[in-house]
Amino acid sequence: MYHGKKVVVVMPAYNAARTLERTYREIPLDIVDDVIVVDDASRDETVEVARKLGLPIFVHEQNRGYGANQKTCYTESLRHAADVTVMLHPDYQYTPRLIVAMVAMIVDGPYDVVLGSRILGGHARQGGMPRYKYFSNRFLTMVQNALSGSKLSEFHTGYRTFSREVLETLPLLENSDDFVFDNQILAQVMHFGFEIGEISCPTAYFPEASSINFSRSVIYGLGCLRTAAQLFAQRRGFASFPIFAGGGRRLAIEAPARSGLEARAGIEPA
């Protein structure tokens, strides 16, 4: 625990067998109570590696997408009674050593969500982020800041920490099962009035690190612009969207945490 608050790290995994253990070994287990892996039908030995490490692992029988993986991650974290949930990719692209600082920014205040930013401190280019990804990141972030009225250094980091209240409040089941989920959840955070903090995060790009190809990146970028436009329209009363609905579908967390090393994961509409 950290200052009496339970901390759970969730790792959305897909073909992460080569990097999962390295990532896990650097997690500060002196403050982290549970580490949960959700496997999205990997084609490698991700499940076997997680089992060897003794980690609870929840397996999607079919590949359901990055957003669907996160929905399972957050459902299981809340079922494990997490006060603070850290999403850490198991591909070792983000350093686990920032977990203590990110958790402190929530537990000790004043933030509800903390992002590990690759842009602050120039870590993106230093860490080897491809040039086209860097410039598209900067362009999308500029447009998204303009439409949302925020001042984030980037919207696209996969290293995030959430308070329990955030995950219980947001209608996450209204979001996409694909990569744009990452941007939808930040738009929801802004719409519902939660505070976002950022911390400079070193990053590393190497062959084993996960990445989406150019065509998927284009689809993702268009989805980000669409989400930002929806937030702009929702705030000004021009339109209404399910992802911002106060009565939208939330994570189903009534059931207690499942016991045992492995379970078949699924989410029912709230």
For the chain, domains (ranges, CATH) are 7-240 (3.90.550.10)
Q: What percent of the chain has pLDDT over 70?
A: 89
Asked if pLDDT for residue 208 goes beyond 70, the answer is: no
CA-based nearest residue to 230, from 160, 173, 176 = 176
Question: Is it the case that residue 257 has pLDDT exceeding 50?
Answer: no
Closest CA to 221 of 129, 153, 133, 158: 133
- Please check whether residue 114 is in contact with residue 102, taking contact to mean a CB–CB distance below 8 angstroms: yes
Q: What is the structure's pLDDT at 130?
A: 73
CB 212 within 8 A of CB 220: yes
Average pLDDT of the segment spanning 155-169? 97
Residue 197 to residue 236: CA distance in whole angstroms: 25
> The tokens of 180 are what?
């744009």
Say what the pLDDT of residue 215 is: 79
Would you say residue 256 has pLDDT above 80? Answer: no
Q: Inform me whether the pLDDT recorded for 14 exceeds 70.
A: yes
DSSP, res 254: -
Looking at residues 195-201, what average pLDDT do you find? 97
Question: Is pLDDT above 80 for 58?
Answer: yes
Q: What is the mean pLDDT of residues 189-195?
A: 98
Ramachandran assignment for 149, one of left (phi > 0), alpha (psi -120 to 50 degrees), beta (any other): left
The rounded percent of the chain whose pLDDT value lies above 90 is 79
pLDDT tier at 267, thresholds 50, 70, 90? very low
* Mean pLDDT of the region 179-194: 97
Residues facing residue 197 across a β-bridge: 114
CB 228 within 8 A of CB 187: yes
Task: Band the pLDDT of 213: cuts 50, 70, 90.
Answer: confident
Phi, psi angles (nearest 5°) of residue 43: -100, 5
List the beta bridge partners of residue 198.
115
Q: What is the pLDDT of residue 253?
A: 79
**More confidently predicted of 263 and 67:** 67
**What pLDDT is attached to residue 28?**
98
Rounded CA separation 33/153 (Å): 30
Alpha helices of 151-203 — where are they, by DSSP H? 164-169, 181-191
Query: Who wins on pLDDT, 202 or 72?
Result: 72
Average pLDDT, the chain: 90
110 class by beta-carbon count within 10 Å (0-12 exposed, 13-18 middle, 19+ buried) = exposed
- Does residue 121 register a pLDDT over 70? yes
